[in-house]
Structure 1
């Protein structure tokens, strides 16, 4: 195995002391540009590679950001990651991505691994299975700052970037009511997640404001996977007079639609449907799906920009920098009864 080139090899070849070589390779202003150029040229010639690990240990920084999402396969999260990665890259940071798969235990392991690998900060959308936040408090104490996105939780001096889930859900449910629906089922995520609790509250408020009774059996909780969508669709077919569904994501809405089609349920004539997320497939299926559009890439850009500022310690009161972004109801065929 070929021996790795060291600073001392460059020093010997150029007859320049090793401390000067080290300063030059670290772009120190104490070394002239002419000497820097000479040393850089020789470093390339000899195949020198900087020891990033040693440098990180000296500076106590890795210029790396950790990202944890429930599922990378979800279009929304992959778009958020795109915004994060581009912003981080432009600021000189690398990213390490993990997916919890909606598992609390897996999320804890990922946070522990990122802490062990000394990432400078963490961007996280917590899993549906997350029951407490001790692992995140430990990261803040022993690692670096955290910014929550999409699924905000309450933690001291920890900002979040999210949308107005209440308003988005209110508008989605109100749209179904305006199109003649009076018996509307809500496909919800687990209520212990603040995001899904707020979406349910928006659904309930829209029904209440329009004098439609709240039926607990019409609120179906799940992880909103494809399989969950099918199971909830089966439950809907056993409920009386359901004429509308508001789903907290497109995945469950679309798999439910497919089940309804197999059972000769016409959409939107028999059951009108509204989803959430504006996944690309929502515009391609037949009938195409009415849905809520979120500013996913923008969310990633804002969240990563904020985290980098927190890492640099340019922000004194992090919680004051939380942001709530707007959404848009995209009306398509699946909800147009009239």
Structure 2
């Protein structure tokens, strides 16, 4: 996809946001409601933006129109990184983004997107659905009058785009790197200067030299965003985002006022979309990577062992800091995450990983 045509379609212009802000409040007639979903993603953005739109459409269809979801892409109603605040202040009923974007509200939220050297996406869902994660997530969001649900899964992400090749820790010192969440804190410990910005802002920052490196998700998204036009060194895999999850956040009051069947539909559609987005990325990341390599001369590289080892050390330090946090919910979230990880990694490392190694070694069609 040509980046310029993609960005044009994405509708980043501020005029759209101004026009959208004049929209009337949600209509409620004969038991039917219109809910606004604001997102952090560009319009028609592969995997994530498409997934948000599909989630909204599925809720509308499954409820027979009793809830009609109007989806607004990044900047159409509110700036992308103000999506959660829009639900908190009542400007929207739903937001679609990533929980670690809001770590300034409570650091514990970062655990529900991705943790450096932490859970894969399959492990994360096990924690959230069956090992107490959802209940702790609810506690954190209760403070803000909202409720969160897992809504999408990118799988293990790419490590990022770098203007220059990485030869070791010394090559990380001082680079200006776009990367969010706890992963950003890891890279800071390694010597990078870290910032976060929305998807639609990254290319320009790379082009202008404001950034030396950036990571977003992986080939499927990164091809559309055009990073290959600036950087050619593409590192795999990410050791700070092993299994990223997106979230749907809803106004808790409005959600709890819904009949039980509509509450169940929203929960079930979120779970279905989590799996649908995972399949979308699994199918399209490899094909996008082939395009990046074959058509655009991108070099796929592994991180030097020195960086991987230092990243693991920094990750352990950060987890321990959070474990010792003075904030009770951050501490509680960290303890729950560690306990669950020690359970779920047994299957991943004892069953899944040995199979993958054996398949790679012996089975080629």
TM-score by length of 2: 0.38
Larger relative helix fraction: 2
Looking at CA atoms only, which structure, 1 or 2, has the larger radius of gyration?
1
Higher relative contact order (CA 8 A, sep 6+): 2
User: What is the TM-score with the length of structure 1 in the denominator?
Assistant: 0.40
